[in-house]
Amino acid sequence: MDISSANSLSYEDFVDTFGNVVEKNPLVAAAIWSHRPFANLSELEARIVEFIDKLPESGKEGILRCHPDLAGRDLQRGTLTRDSQDEQSQAGMASLTPEETARMYRLNTEYKRRFGFPFIICAKMNNKAAILRKLSERSGNDLAKERECAIDEVKKISSLRLRNLVLPDTQHKL
């Protein structure tokens, strides 16, 4: 859809359409709906980023806790959101060897125990080797640094998901 179509959506349709741009957080879409009309995709994305940035640390951690573990139970059970399923599969998380699965489970468990939220990385911008490496590396961060890294990854994920829903600014000006 183009930005005009997005702007014309009712509140309910807007939340239905954009409610998973930030994983399992329709509140974000609900909060930015009142800022319509958006001049372009860039402004829509900026409003999402602004909303996230203005959240207190506890709100940011709430957003992080809504994300599934990479290659975790939800992937194995087929209960991921369609977006997460596609992103994790594209990164190779659905085709881990038994050894990689065991390592991922161990690293995810240690990470969540240390930080209180799952490891988040933009799977579409990484492959399984990079994800495993970055999971190990980032586990050494302190909480504030890791929360910041994870929120930056949420923003990357959100940006890519938005681009799957709304035409880039240059494509609808024909």
144 and 72 part of one domain: yes
95 and 40 part of one domain: no
Residue 169: per-residue pLDDT? 74
Q: Note down the domain range covering 10.
A: 3-54
Residue 172: per-residue pLDDT? 44
Residue 72: per-residue pLDDT? 86
- The verdict on residue 114 lying in a domain is yes
Side chain identity at residue 18, one-letter code: F
CB 72 within 8 A of CB 105: yes
Token pair recorded at residue 150: 């994870």
93 and 141 part of one domain: yes
156 and 85 part of one domain: yes
Residue 5: per-residue pLDDT? 97
- The verdict on residue 170 lying in a domain is no
- The verdict on residue 61 lying in a domain is no
- The verdict on residue 62 lying in a domain is no
Tens of pLDDT, residue by residue over 19-32, are 999 999 999 999 99
- The verdict on residue 119 lying in a domain is yes
Instruction: Give percent above pLDDT 70 in the chain.
Output: 97
79 and 24 part of one domain: no
Q: Which one from 14, 15, 29, 67 is the annotated catalytic residue? A: 67
Q: What value does the mean pLDDT take over residues 57-77?
A: 91
Residue 174: per-residue pLDDT? 41
Residue 8: per-residue pLDDT? 98
- Residues of 45-54 as b/e, b for ≥16 C-beta within 10 angstroms? bebbeebbee
Q: What is the pTM of this model?
A: 0.92
Q: What value does the mean pLDDT take over residues 37-63?
A: 97
Residue 73: per-residue pLDDT? 84
- Residue 67 appears among annotated catalytic residues: yes
Residue 87: per-residue pLDDT? 94
Q: What value does the mean pLDDT take over residues 63-84?
A: 90
SS3 172: coil
| Domains identified in the chain, total number | 2
Q: What value does the mean pLDDT take over residues 147-159?
A: 98
Tens of pLDDT, residue by residue over 105-134, are 999 999 999 999 999 999 999 999 999 999
Residue 173: per-residue pLDDT? 45
Dist CA 35 CA 155 (whole Å)? 19
CB 144 within 8 A of CB 174: no
Dist CA 64 CA 131 (whole Å)? 17
Helix 98-115 and helix 128-138: axis angle, to 10°? 30
